[in-house]
Structure formats: C-alpha cells, structure tokens
Amino acid sequence: MRILGTAAVLPDEALTSAELDERLGLPAGTVEDRTGVRVRHVERGSAAALGAQAARKALAAAGLTLDDVDVILGASATPDQPLPCNAALLHEELAPARPVPAWDVNASCLSFLVALDLAATLVDAGRHERILIVSSDLASVGLDWSDLGASGIFGDGAAAVVVGHAGTTGSSVLAAGLATHSEGAHTCEIKGGGSRHAPDRVTGDYADWARFRMEGGAVFRLAIKHLPPFVEGLLDEAGTTMADLSVVVPHQASHHALTWVRQRFGITDEQFVDIYADHGNQVGASLPSALHAAIESGRLQRGDRALLLGTGAGLSLGGIVLCY
C-alpha cells in the first residue's frame, strides 16, 4: 500500500484559551496552562461537510478524482447522527457520479489508524485499487465545561488520505497492531445515543446522557501500563528500532500524554510530530492531521519509515509502522 495524497482542514472559527478564560470566569492563562492548548477550532456545520472539504483536497493532492476511488471509508468518532453511517452523509456531500460504496470504521480516536490498516489489507489483497479515508470530528459538541481537563483539550477538524497499490515504489506497511483492554471501557464514554441508554429508557435531561465524560487519570494510568510492551512488539515485528524512524506521528491526546510518549520512548524533537497546541485533540481526525503536517512540512519523505501510534476509548492501543 502507498499513501497517494493527504489533506487536513480546520473550521474558520478559532477559539483561543484566552477567550475561554474570559468565558468561564477563570484567571488569565488558566485554560492554556491546564490543557496545553493555545487555540482550537470550532465547526458550526456538519462533520460530513467538513470532511468533504478534506476529501477533495486529498484527491487533488493525489492527482485523482472521486471517479478513481473504489471505496469511501468514514473514520470518525463523532458522527453527525447515529444512522445512517457518516460515510453515507459524506458520500452525499461529495455526490459521486456512481454508487461508490461507503461505510464507517469507528474506533474512537484510533478510527483513522484502524481504517488505514483495513485499507492496506484490502488494497494489498487486490480487492480494491484506491480507497479514500476521511476522518472528520466535531469534538466541541457535548462537552462538560465543569471538567476543564475533559473539555478544554478538544478541537474540531478533518483530514483525508487516499491510498492505493504501491507497485514497485517500496512503500508498504511494515507492521500493524491493535489491542483492547476493556477494563478501561467506561473510563472514556458518551452514554447516550444508542439503545442501552435510549431516551425512553432513562430519566432526566437527555442532554446529560449525551455529554462526553472521561476519567483522565484512569485512562492515562492504563495507557502507560500497556503501551511500552505494545510498542516494543510492534517495532520488533517491523524489524526496526525507534532510532531508525524518521518521524513518530502520535494521536494528539493531551500535552501530558505527548510529553510522556516522547520521554518514555526516547523520541527526539526532530522525530516527534506535535501539532497539539494549535489544534487540540481532534479525536479521530487528530492522527491523520498530524500525518499530513509531517508530509506537508517535508519531515516525512518518500522512502522514510514512520510510526503512527495512538490510544482510544475502550481502552484500545493501535500502531502502524510504514515505509512512506
């Protein structure tokens, strides 16, 4: 599999931490100090429309059109609505001339990584020629602003990647891994929106059931327990070391998480791709946005090796080592 084109877009509306200080009645500097985010962006429209912007740019970067794509994969954690899948709504926005199949891959913050692994498998197996992956998340909705650590870290955004056959270019997935530790299943969740806590099964204001809740400390402790052996196994499978990698592209979870990853695995500043301060945690769109930044800036060149790494609600771990 070869990455043919990438793109990332941000909503027009920017929201600084200074503005949040004033809005929440906090001393100046509080939000940025506690979250590590200088500015995040807020989308007032739909995730599908924002994702379509990223999709069109990624196709242009690949020198392709929608007619060249066999499948559209929606890889987001915050759909516009429970049904239909967001890929169908994205399909509607893009309006292809033929009924290109479209479906979702939802693994919360790991949605893009899981979709990329799936796309590589489908392409390498000869099932499809080219696949468009779109991650578009409106993390700004449904936040509980009484918990700044679980609200101030988030921002909205979208990113898209087009993949296809590598041919004789040398591009490939060297290793991919996923692991779920469900003792953390309820440390990061939105309870409403499904059948378990449907409106006719609960009492009170349903808006409370639709709000995002996170036990940040519990998530962090579980992640740091399981990530070291997971990363070691992934690099061993790829036959490489951290020092051999040109870039490490992590999910932009939080400033504490990014600092821990960089220090724990001995990743240099030159290797580490960190866009968190000016984007926040964009959920599923976070990792592909950081990947696009690495490619667009020239930090990731053809023939280079990269590690894509993240965690997501579940608690799940995911990683891909690839030759770009």
- Quote the CA–CA distance of 139 and 77 in Å, as a whole number: 9
Whether residue 321 contacts residue 307, with contact meaning beta carbons closer than 8 Å, is answered with yes
* Token pair recorded at residue 185: 């299943």
Whether residue 319 contacts residue 230, with contact meaning beta carbons closer than 8 Å, is answered with yes
Angle at 139 between CA 298 and CA 42, to 5 degrees: 75
Burial 77-111 (b: 16+ CB within 10 A, else e): bbbbeeeebbbbbbbebbeeeeebebebbbbbbbb
Q: How many CB atoms lie within 10 A of CB 217?
A: 10
Q: What is the per-residue DSSP string for 179-243?
A: EE-GGGTTSEE---SSSTT-GGG--S-HHHHTS-EE-HHHHHHHHHHHHHHHHHHHHHHHT--GG
User: What's phi and psi for 57, nearest 5 deg?
Assistant: -70, -40
3-state SS class at 296 = helix
Q: 41, 85, 255, 281: which is the annotated catalytic residue?
A: 281
List the one residue out of 157, 8, 161, 178 whose CA is nearest residue 71: 161
Q: 109, 255, 279, 323: which is the annotated catalytic residue?
A: 109
**281 flagged as catalytic:** yes
Q: 41, 85, 188, 251: which is the annotated catalytic residue?
A: 251
Q: How many CB atoms lie within 10 A of CB 46?
A: 18
**109 flagged as catalytic:** yes
Helix axes 86-94, 47-62, angle to 10 degrees: 60
Active-site amino acid positions: 109, 251, 281
